[in-house]
A and B are shown apart, each in its own frame.
Chain A
Amino acid sequence: MNRMNGMPRTEMIQPDAWGRVRRGRYLADWALKAICVLFTALGAFVLGWILLMLLYEGISAMRPEIFVNTTPGPMTKGGGIANAIVGSLILTALGIVVATPIGVLAGTYLAEYGKDSKLAELIRFVNDILLAAPSILIGLFVYTLMVQPMGGYSGWAGGVALAIIAVPVIVRTTEDMLRIVPGSLREAGAALGAPMSTVIRKISWRSARAGMVTGVLLATARIAGETAPLLFTALNNNFWFRPDLMGGVANLPVMIYQYALSPYQNWRELAWAGALVITLSILALSVVARLLLRKDKVR
């Protein structure tokens, strides 16, 4: 208005976009923006700090022989983390192999069969609870379920505990991804006379594939670093595990937990090396999972 009436005096003095804005409003806005930027920077800063700490401590502990030797006992020099790395891979693989079919089928039930029925609503609700349930309680549950009856710690119990953590993640992503698949695709399949199971497998799953794979990858990333559920199930030990996976199975998270809090210098160094290995793998897995989904969306 002022500009039109030929009274541009204040604007000439203050030629920025703010014009004649009350100082209080300007300050409040400026403060909000500053605080939001600051908080976001803080989040990024903490992530960067943690990664730098891991790189600094981890690389100085990194030597080729730690990928060959097993974890050392108390007061033993040297040693490595080979058994913990292999053990972690096996436990994670076991968990994901058990969890994937269950999670995918349950997610399929929610998206394709149950939809908005009472049972589906209940299971969706329970799944959301499990998704956020404390992982240590899952460890206690599997301890009661498997360790006590079987008479000792085992890799199987560890795998089941990890699977219980992975299932809700897979269920959730599978359902979400299947729900995006347009109904017309399914109708087209059904119109050709294909039974429901074929429509789901050949049409719904195929079009939601990238999203479902992302879900499985994210679940893998989630369980690979879980410590609490392994404490009472797979535990840890300083040797190569037995082929039948009975007894303690060495794994990176519990190894890091025990070694980081120990008084021995070489144990602590191995804990840092293990921490670097596990964090980099998990972050890489998460990034790959996200890239996969993004590529699919673009297509």
Chain B
Amino acid sequence: MVALSQKALVTSADKPSRRSSFLSFDDAFRLASLGSALIVLIVLLGIIGSMIYGGWPAFREFGLGFITSSVWDVQRDQYGAWVAIVGTLTTALIALVIGVPISLGIAVFLTQLCPPWLKRPVATTIELLAAVPSIIYGMWGLFVFAPLFARFIQIPVSSLVEGLPLVGSILYARTPSGVGVLTAGIILSIMIIPFIASIARDILDQIPPVMRESAYGIGCTTWEVVRHVLLPQVGVSIIGAIMLGLGRALGETMAVTFVIGNANRLSASLFDPGSTIASRIANEFNEAIGLQLNALMALGCILFLVTFTVLVLARLLVARVKTA
């Protein structure tokens, strides 16, 4: 309507006036918005494209063996991703096992137990955990946490389980330095807590208060309200939140690079050093040339596919939490 009347005005005025340039500004503004929105799309396509383009020579050279081979030999130009893939999945899994219960506990505390005056400081504290740069977590992990971890966990546990079947190999540290796959998983768990906790809190907040009030009204305890009223309500969206945390854990680079030990070795023990896809790229990319560069790009491609899948699943499971 508006546009129509203005067009009519312009034609009646015969010569192009200020009005017509005003109209074109409106169009230009709309196009600029659309263009910016499309940039977001193009960037994602560009990331996929550059990974495939850069990694292609490695995939062509090694075929499917690139994924299943655990050799990473720069001298002989032989590359396989298996160790890094296993390291990535293991650390992310440890992070979830430790981080998810803690995150959910924090979310329940913030929504059900916390007195109103304490809500804001606690929420801010947890959010600030997300604001701390990952490199700082790396330094804390390497210089503060790892020595303590070696002294109070690795050495006692190792001497306890030595010689036992299964546990003796999973929790035995040959060199109790504190760095390793388990340490990386623990640091990652701290880093994903704020993300899972804040989404879980939003999900819990969305449940109509009437439901929980009626449960309290018939004499339920907090535990019973959480278990029998809130849990059935949140259902799969909590899994979405967890997947989002998993996506973070899979791609985290700097903190892991500090504490995982960066060894290309497949070890049964969680106390032994290993490497993840991201840590290997961070470590080797700047010195890499030729096929090694392509192999690292191919690693990036695998990481992208895995995180992409996880994030898409997460997005499908967790309904977008609206601020309004």
Contact = CB atoms under 8 A, between A and B. Distances in A.
Interface in B1-41: 2-3, 5-6, 22-23, 25-26, 29-30, 32-41
A42 interface: yes
From DSSP, what is the main secondary structure of chain B's interface residues?
helix
A102 B39 CA distance: 8
A53 B137 CA distance: 11
A40 B282 contact: no
A262 to B, nearest CB: 12
Contacts of A171: 40
B115 to A, nearest CB: 12
A260 B139 contact: yes
Interface string B306-324: 0110011001000010111
Most buried by A among B33, B35, B46, B113: B33
A45 B5 CA distance: 64
Contacts of B281: 136, 140
A42 B144 CA distance: 16
Nearest to A29: B221
A129 B30 contact: no
A264 interface: no
A179 B322 CA distance: 9
Interface string B195-227: 001000000000000000000000001111010
A109 B50 contact: no
Interface in B115-142: 122, 124-129, 131-140, 142
Interface residues of B, number: 95
Nearest to B44: A126
B22 A195 contact: yes
B57 to A, nearest CB: 13
Contacts of A36: 105-106, 108-109, 112-113
Contacts of B135: 225, 227, 253, 256-257, 260, 275
Contacts of B285: 140, 143, 231-232
A15 interface: no
Interface in A199-254: 200-201, 221-222, 224-228, 231-232, 235, 253
Contacts of A275: 135-136, 139
Given A134-B278, A140-B50, A195-B22, A167 B39 contact: yes
Interface stretch (A4-12, A59-67, A77-85, A281-289): A281-289
Nearest to A254: B135
Contacts of A42: 102
A197 B324 contact: no
Contacts of B282: 136, 228, 231
A273 to B, nearest CB: 12
B297 interface: yes
B54 interface: yes
28 contacts: A28-B223, A28-B224, A32-B108, A35-B105, A40-B126, A43-B197, A104-B36, A106-B33, A119-B37, A123-B37, A125-B315, A126-B41, A130-B40, A133-B251, A133-B308, A136-B300, A141-B43, A144-B50, A176-B323, A177-B323, A195-B22, A227-B254, A228-B282, A235-B286, A257-B254, A278-B133, A279-B132, A282-B132
Please give me the 5 A-B residue pairs with the lowest Cβ-Cβ distance, nearest first. A134-B251, A225-B133, A39-B105, A105-B36, A109-B33
Interface of A: 21, 25-26, 28-29, 31-33, 35-40, 42-44, 46-47, 49-50, 53-54, 57, 101-106, 108-110, 112-114, 119-120, 122-130, 132-138, 140-141, 143-145, 164, 167-168, 171, 176-177, 179-180, 190, 193-198, 200-201, 221-222, 224-228, 231-232, 235, 253, 256-257, 260-261, 271-272, 275, 278-279, 282-283, 286-287, 290
Interface of B: 2-3, 5-6, 22-23, 25-26, 29-30, 32-41, 43-44, 46-47, 50-51, 53-54, 101-102, 105-106, 108-110, 112-114, 122, 124-129, 131-140, 142-144, 190, 193-194, 197, 221-224, 226, 244, 247-248, 250-254, 257-258, 278, 281-282, 285-286, 297, 300, 303-304, 307-308, 311-312, 315, 320, 322-324
